[in-house]
Structure formats: C-alpha cells, structure tokens
Homo-oligomer: A and B are copies of this chain.
Amino acid sequence: MLRLAPSGFLRFSQANSFEVIYGGGESNVAVSLANYGIPTEFVTRIPNNDLGDCAIMEMRKRNVGINHIVRGGERLGIYFLETGAVARSSKVIYDRDHSGMATIKPGMIDWEKIFQDTTWFHWTGITPALSQGAADACLEAIQTANRMGITVSTDLNYRKNLWKYGKKPSEVMPELVAGCDIILGNEEDAEKHFDIHPEGVDVTQGHSVEAEAYTSVCQQLMAKFPRAKK
C-alpha cells in the first residue's frame, strides 16, 4: 500500500508535495521480523505497474521475501494521511477500493505451495475488511494452514472505515478466527468483531478494573475460539 502524507503538520490544502511511504500493517510486521533476522515471505497481490514495483522494491530492500507476491489488479491501494496537531485530529482518506488486494479471489494464490516451506502464517483483520474476495482468500489461507499443521496468528485490528462491502465483521471474522492458534487484540476488537464485552467487572473496585476487563475479554475469546486455548 502507498501512504501519501503532507510533511510535518501541514494540512492537505497547504501541501504541494506528499511524502511517499510504501507499507502497511502486515508489511510492518514482516519488516520487523526481517530486522530480527527471521526469514519471511510477504504474500499479497500487487498491480503490475511501476508503483507496484516500488512497493515490492521497498520490501526487498528491507529483506522481506517477495517470492510469493502475485501481480495483478488495477491499482495499488493508497491512503492519504494528514497528521493532526494540538486540537486538530489526524485525518485518513482511504483509497484502497479496487486495489490488487481488494479484488483478490480464492484460487489466485497457491497457499499449499507457499506453506510448504514455512511454519507460521500471520494475518490481520484489515484484509477481510477490504472485500468479500479478500475475506474468502483469507479463509482459504487459514484453512490450508490448519490442514497443513502450520501455526496461525492474527492481529484483530478493527478498522471501522474499512468495512464497507456489505458484511458486518461479526458475519465474517468468527469463521476466520476459529482457525487461529494465537489471537492478538483488545477490548474494542473483541466488541466490534464478536460482540464480546467484559463480564462480571465490579467497577467499584478501583484501579484494576481495566486489567480485569481485559482478562474477562480474553477468557471469552478463548472460550469462543478453543483452538487458541492450547
């Protein structure tokens, strides 16, 4: 994904240049792993144009594996970021529809081949938020990983502005998360994706309420997704 942002604290309407960064939530994880010396393959679908090449170059530069990236789709997803200052909040304009990843479909990626040489598959809640096809491809990957005995982890990562294709998170995420061995997330993720709320928290008890609430949410998540309990 391509991030375009005015420099410093300039507003969109004040900028006559945008800073260019190729990246995203999942690729940041891949770069971090690569920085620690762990072999990674970043699996995605990127359009076959110069901007797609730039996104791939950035990952290759950072030592992230790009051998299983599928080239296709009309465009590279973009998001425009205006950094807030003082009382003015940051603004994000997503322009990711119709991107290579948003128009992915099951069958486009050969998960079996990819998983042959790995032990771990990580995905985030951003992918199934993009489109039905992306959610389906994600499910395909998780089920293949489960069948092949590969560890699956997820970062729930709820993003309100991305769920626009007609399905609610609660209709999509449970089936995906059911195949995960490790679940990362917080109270908001749990509420928005699974309608899970902290239970039995006595708010009159003081400071530890937050920790209690978090524990309650984790216990409910583990009850709902027993695979992650192991």
Interface residues of A (CB under 8 A from B): 4, 7-8, 12-21, 49-51, 53-54, 57-58, 60-63, 74-75, 78, 80, 82, 91, 93, 95, 97-98
Q: Tell me which residues across on chain B come within 8 A of A51, comparing CB atoms.
A: 12, 80, 93
Q: How far is the CA of A80 from the CA of B82 in the complex (A)?
A: 20
Flag if B57 contacts A61 (CB, 8 Å).
yes
Which residues of chain B have C-beta atoms less than 8 A from A53's C-beta? 12-13
Looking at the complex, which one of B16, B21, B74, B93 makes contact with A97 (CB distance below 8 Å)? Answer: B74
In the bound assembly, the distance between CA atoms of A61 and B74 in angstroms comes to 23
Min CB distance A136 to B, Å, is: 21
Nearest CB in chain B: distance from A22 CB, A: 10
Residue contact B16 to A49, C-beta cutoff 8 Å: no
Query: Can you give 27 A-B contacts (C-beta < 8 A)?
Result: A4-B18, A8-B8, A12-B50, A12-B53, A13-B53, A13-B57, A14-B16, A16-B16, A16-B19, A16-B20, A16-B21, A17-B18, A17-B20, A18-B20, A49-B93, A50-B82, A50-B91, A50-B93, A57-B61, A58-B61, A60-B60, A60-B61, A74-B97, A75-B95, A75-B97, A78-B78, A97-B98
Bound-complex Cα distance A83 to B209 (A): 39
Contact of A4 among B4, B7, B13, B58 (CB under 8 A): B4
Partner of A54, one of B7, B13, B17: B13
Q: B residues within 8 A CB of A61?
A: 13, 57-58, 60-61
- The one of B7, B19, B21, B57 in contact with A62, judged by C-beta atoms closer than 8 angstroms, is B57
Chain B hits for A78, CB < 8 A: 78, 95
Closest Cβ of chain B to A172, distance in Å, is 21
A8 surroundings in chain B (CB, below 8 A): 8
- A15 to B51: give the CA distance in the assembly, Å: 11
Alpha-carbon distance A16/B16, docked complex (angstroms): 7
Chain B residues with Cβ below 8 Å from A49 are 93
